[in-house]
Amino acid sequence: MRVFVPATLTMLQRLVADGTLRPVNGTAFAVTPTLREAYAEGDEEELADVALRDAALASLRLLGDEGETTLPSRRAVLEVDADDVTLRPDLDDAVVRVAGDIDLTKVIAAYVDNAAAETAVTAAVDAVDEADLGDEDAELTVGDAQDHDLAWYAAQELPFLLELL
């Protein structure tokens, strides 16, 4: 099943160095039957974009948990062909759990913020919890980060991307 795994640049470094990555709590996002039911219209590509955006939002939380790092504050999402996936509609429409580690050979692509998004992403990391609690200003701050499109990188480009940061 094609899944979108939220990540950080630090996690991408580990993936490239070790060849594997364990998603935090096994959490990923995918086009699930529940997600399809939630949308009256939309083809596979549009629904995949919804799952990707959910993963990008989850990446903000990972950045908040990461603490101090020398790497830029950018959202990252891995697109992966995963074998052992469990649907979790009790958590949200697109949430799935991936068992075990993800091998670099299963990674299709990475989506990563450009430098222009860093200020918005940093602000959103600080506001994401308040946004969940309904704070309208915080929701706008998170929305500003979500308005930035993620750049697409093929899996084989990851070492070069990380080297250029």
120 lies in some domain: yes
Residue 33 has pLDDT above 80, yes or no: yes
164 lies in some domain: no
How many domains does the chain fold into? Answer: 1
Largest CA distance in the chain: 43
pTM for the full predicted model: 0.93
163 lies in some domain: no
pLDDT single digits (tens) 39-78: 878 788 999 999 999 999 999 999 988 877 788 999 999 9
User: Could you please report the per-residue DSSP string of 29-68?
Assistant: E---HHHHHH-SS--HHHHHHHHHHHHHHHHHHHHHHH-S
Its domain, for residue 46, covers 2-157
112 lies in some domain: yes
Residue 134 has pLDDT above 80, yes or no: yes
